[in-house]
Structure 1
Amino acid sequence: MLKHLKTLSGHQNPIYALANSADKEVFFSAGNDKGVVEWSLETLAFVKVKMPVQSSVYYLHYYNNFLFIGERSGAFSVFDLDKGEIVNRVNAHLKPIFNIQTVQSKNELITTGEDGTVSVWSLADFSEIYRFQAAYNTVRAIAISPDETEIAFGCKDHLIKIYNLADYSLKQNLDSHTLPVTALAYHPTGKYLISGGRDAQLKIWNLPNYELIQTIPAHMFTVYDIAFHPTLPYFATCSQDKSIKIWDAENFKLYKILSLEKGEFGHTHSINKMIWKKDGKYLISTGDDRKVIVWEMEG
């Protein structure tokens, strides 16, 4: 399944964000430090500080050779990886940005965060197209359906809000979590939406009717991320309880637990973020222990 390959150190403070790049050997991390860090999977080592940042980074998003950096200040920067420089910086929100996603079919960028507003930006010139209030407090998670017809937001008021991507009209409120919703992911086939919350539960919503078909007591504490394997029927969850769990994406059975309690390698503090590399060979995790751990698929 997955085995520990390497623990990478170098960050001085908690890490909140990870992002891939076009290069399958390169990825990025950022957090409560002074910059965005580039790492190499080829050498399993630190490469360089890619760019300095003005405040803590809560989210990194890669798209089309641009790296989008969402900051605690409410601003986001656009780093052009071809040019090796920041090409834009936008004061997008009054409070921290917690999530950034792209809608490929519309050439749009979505930002949201602690102020509860969702802002839609043109990827052509980073001008604001539209803004709406999704919640009256933090919106932490965004998921976009595989066919890009809808977008889901995970809110602090424990609601999941589904909007139509065509016109950003509200489609549905899902109310089952008892505490803030902190993680969301659509099944790659579009059959399910999976949500995770501060209530430590995973909820499986059947699509297109949003029927709640399963509630799983997945972790001991907050579920911070849900990440589907790019090619195989698995997904990973990570939590404040210092564990990563690997699940079957069809029957939602637990396959494996990656933690210090279950083996000799793992995180010592809350795990905040995970990414799979595009070829599915590696899972990368990070968190409050200032470590980046690379896990390798066996077989």
Structure 2
Amino acid sequence: MQKTFSFSEEEKKFFDIYQELLIKYYNQPQKLNLFLELKALELGIDDHHKLIRKFHAFLRDYIFFKSKRGELEEILEINPQLLSVLKKYPYFTEYRVSFSFPSSAIYRGFKWRNPLLIAGGNDGKVRIWKYQEGKFHFIGEIGEDFGKFPAYEVYKWHLFYAVGSKLNVYYLPSGKLVKSLEMEKPVTALKLEEKNLYLFKRVGDIAIKQSLDLKGGEIIFGPADPIAPSQVESGETDTVAVEKKLVKIKDGKIFLLTGERKETKVSFEKGEIYEVGYSVNDILPLKNRLLLGVDGSPPIILDLESGKVENKLNLPVTHTYRVRKNPVKEEIALSHTQNLVSVWDLNTLQPIRILEGYFIDAMALDYSPDGKYIASGGEGRDVNVWNTENWEMVKDLELPAEGITALKFSPDGKYLAVGAGGDIYLVETENWSVQKVLSYHEGLIADLNFVGENLVSAGWDGKALLWNIQSGEVEKIIETSEDRIWRVLPFEGGKFLAIADWNGKVSIYQTDDWSLVATFSVDSQPTALAVDKERLYIGRKDGKVQTVRLEREETFSSEGVNELTLNPSEKAVGIATFGGNVLVYTEKGNLCIWNSNGEKVFSAKVEGELKETENLREPRLEIKVLKNTYVVRKNGYFFGGKGWEEFVSVIKGLEPVENKSPFLKEITKRELLEEL
């Protein structure tokens, strides 16, 4: 046990009163506190709150240490009815034992609510860790086994948890359910914003955002405001820095990285194909959605989760050429036929402004890096530049050549590169004058982009060129094709360049040595390229969007990699450690080994002897199953061989108990060995 208890006669009398009142008023906390305060005054007890905390410590030991109950009953007499009340009383925190075994749950993100790290798995459960004294301590899991990701958030030391339309509230220190409600619509997300809690749900084509509060054990709902579906966010992240440590999602698991980072490798895998029904001219990735500029329809929004067209922008146009986001504002611009450029609020997808240019068909469009200017051009000689603060046209630049097909500001904002005819005009933005003309292409300029200080151009002559804009010379012919090169897109901070060939091919080059690292065939002409953190998107002329998954592999020094999600698995009955590895035996007879990087290196089916063995990684392993090797869990008791204590945590509320020895002794039964 943790300590030796002693109580005065007055304190013992107050304990009898405390038991009687708690049994009677446990679900009426205000009345309970009032009566306790009055009785404490009658008995002359100055600080009854301190005394009640002492009672709670005594009762925690009484509940947990069953072998010591006789000894404790000699100190205070316990009313038998009190135990059943304490077990359902949500705000009484008793000792809890948690054990850490590898789990099959997958995570797509987590939330850092200092000092708590919380993560909802695809099994429906939320796991909680507490960061204390430089370490993450596993506190426990809350929720039900629904088999899908939950919505969750921590607020006022309670966990708000929803799967489908059911909303539950748990008191975190005890893990007990304090409130449960059935909502009219499924809950999409729960999120903290500026210390306020909000609930999100979908109603038809719109989303609803509603504030929540918890007062007196009751959930208080605030006003419900309609918002655009694109504004619904869970608040989860895949990376967070805690002191000098990095917590990160990798392959659906949560890792704590403390070693030296060696490198990040990016590989490319063929992904999904989405049907949109219109030839795609440009793509802007949004949160779980794509905004598409297309031929034959107003701009459309594609939902990536359902794979269906979700909505169309309310705009009387049937052709959209370019879609661009303001780098510093929640604002987007689209260029269309009829010399129109439309500007929209990104969050609400409501129009802000319609701009009219001095050209026909706005085929080219770009924002300056500071978001101050927007430039557009089309059929004709004019490039129009507007100020995004007052929407006044600050420059109508007339070029010698007709047919402006591409525009791109340099990363430092000093230049605007303009593709007109077969030449590239480099315009100084300080005075909006042409500084030089870059000539090499033998056809129209299809696209322009910058890789660092160098310019990349795509031409109808089938060439992708790398330019030194200071000298005006071509430094490299990156790629040639029998047909036109239609799009060039740098990504990953300029480490890679994607090139779309009209022949039905997308090539990816590594820009440090211009080596070809991947090629993807496209069953139609590729007409658009875009990228986010997870995918490269390829728009196609046949009305489809093809994707390429970006698979990242970060390598760290092995001694600094720890998987936090080596946590409860309901199927595990045994565990052992050796040489930094973890061996687990499950109720279904599976034997698995994870290495120190959190990678499964061995898997086998055990039926009397090893069967269906699978060596997943070198070195090849020879395993002997020895008696007394495992941690065994049965009816709340544990037994194990050397090192098993490392996988057992004792929690008081949200505080890890430092001295586990008396608790481990209590939950160990020698006779379990004979049974097994």
Equivalence for 2:476? 256
Q: Which residue of 2 aligns with 1:36?
A: none
1:290 corresponds to = 504
The CA distance in 2 between the partners of 1:254 and 1:99, in whole Å, is: 27
Distance 2:481 2:434 in 1: 32
- Change in Cα spacing, 1:170 to 1:85, as seen in structure 2 (3 Å) is same
Q: Distance in 2 between matches of 1:201 and 1:65?
A: 38
CA distance in 2 between counterparts of 1:273 and 1:137 reads: 22
- Quote how far apart the aligned CAs of 1:250 are: 3.3
SS at match of 2:299: strand
2:496/2:509 contact within 8 Å kept: yes
Counterpart in 1 of 2:527? none
Kept in 2, the 8 Å contact 1:117–1:135? The answer is no
Q: Which residue of 2 aligns with 1:245?
A: 465
1:273 to 487, 493, 508: 487
Q: Does 1:153 align with 2:376?
A: yes
Does residue 1:207 correspond to 2:429, yes or no? yes
Cα 1:191–1:65 change in 2 (3 A) is farther
Deviation sequence 1:128-177 (CA, Å, 0-9, x none): 22213224521111111111111110221121111111122111111114
Number of residue pairs matched? 250
Cα 1:255–1:169 change in 2 (3 A) is same
> How many Å apart are 1:200 and its aligned residue?
0.4
Matched, 1:235 2:446: no
Distance in 1 between the 2:310 and 2:327 partners?
20
- Kindly state the Cα deviation for residue 188 of structure 1 after the two structures are TM-superposed: 0.9
Question: In structure 1, what is the Cα distance between the partners aligned to 2:286 and 2:468?
Answer: 28
Quick one: which of 397, 401, 414 aligns to 1:178?
A: 401
Amino acid at match of 2:375: A
The answer to whether the 8 Å contact 1:240/1:270 transfers is yes
Superimposed CA distance per residue, residues 106-142 of structure 1 (whole angstroms, 9 cap, x where no aligned partner): 3212111222111111112212222132245211111
Counterpart mapping for 1:63-212 below 5 A: 63=286, 66-81=289-304, 86-135=309-358, 137-197=360-420, 199-212=421-434
Distance 2:396 2:512 in 1: 40
Aligned residue type for 1:121: W
Q: What is the CA–CA distance in structure 1 between the aligned matches of 2:482 and 2:323, rounded to whole Å? A: 27
- Are 2:385 and 2:394, in contact at CA under 8 Å, matched by a contact in 1? yes
Counterpart of 1:206, as a letter, is E
The 2-side partners of 1:64 and 1:166 are apart by 26
Unpaired runs of 5+ residues, structure 1, are 1-22, 24-40, 260-265
Secondary structure of the corresponding residue to residue 106 of structure 1: coil
Task: Provide the rounded CA distance (Å) in 1 between the counterparts of 2:316 and 2:339.
Answer: 9
In 2, the alpha carbon distance for the partners of 1:215 and 1:298 equals: 27
Instruction: Please give the alpha-carbon distance, in whole angstroms, between the structure 1 residues aligned to 2:271 and 2:329.
Output: 34
Q: Which amino acid aligns with 1:207?
A: T
Deviations 1:220-258, CA, capped at 9 Å, x for gaps: 0001111111xx321210100000000124333210013
Q: 1:61 aligns with which of 260, 266, 284?
A: 284
Q: TM-score, normalised by structure 1?
A: 0.76
8 A contact 1:267–1:291 mirrored in 2: no
1-structure distance, mates of 2:494, 2:411? 14
* Contact 1:107 1:124 (C-alpha < 8 Å) held by counterparts: yes
Structure number with greater Rg is 2
User: Mapping of 1:215-234 within 5 angstroms?
Assistant: 215-229=437-451, 232-234=452-454
CA RMSD in angstroms, aligned pairs only: 2.3
The structure that is helix-richer by fraction is 2
Q: 1:80 to 1:111 in 2, by over 3 A?
A: same
User: Displacement, 1:85?
Assistant: 5.6
Q: Which has the higher strand share?
A: 1
Moved more, 84-93 or 208-217: 84-93
Residues 235-292 of structure 1: CA deviation (Å, up to 9, x unaligned): 2101000000001243332100134xxxxxx422111111011232221111321111
Q: Aligned equivalents of 1:93 and 1:272: distance in 2?
A: 27
**Aligned equivalents of 1:196, 1:284: Cα separation in 2:** 19
Residues 276 and 308 in structure 2, CA contact (< 8 A), matched pair in contact too: no
Deviations 1:82-116 (A, max 9, x none): 77665432253423100011124332121112221
CA apart distance, 1:213: 1.2
- Is the CA contact (8 Å cut-off) linking 1:63 and 1:102 kept in structure 2? no
Q: C-alpha distance in 1, partners of 2:297/2:381?
A: 22
CA separation in 2, counterparts of 1:54 and 1:86?
9
Inter-CA distance 81–157: structure 2 relative to 1 (3 Å threshold): same
Query: Scaled by the length of structure 2, what TM-score is found?
Result: 0.35
Alpha-carbon distance in structure 2 between the residues aligned to 1:239 and 1:64: 32
Maintained 8 Å contact 1:72/1:96: yes
Q: CA–CA distance in 1 between the matches of 2:400 and 2:277?
A: 35
| SS, match of residue 289 in structure 1 | coil
Please state how far the C-alpha of 1:45 moved relative to its aligned partner: 4.2
Check conservation: 1:96, 1:115, Cα contact below 8 A.
no
- Structure 2 vs 1, CA of residues 122 and 291 (structure 1 numbering), >3 Å: closer, same or farther? same
Distance in 1 (CA, whole Å) between partners of 2:428 and 2:276 is 40
Structure of higher RCO (CA pairs closer than 8 Å, 6+ residues apart): 1
| Structure 2 counterpart SS, 1:283 | strand
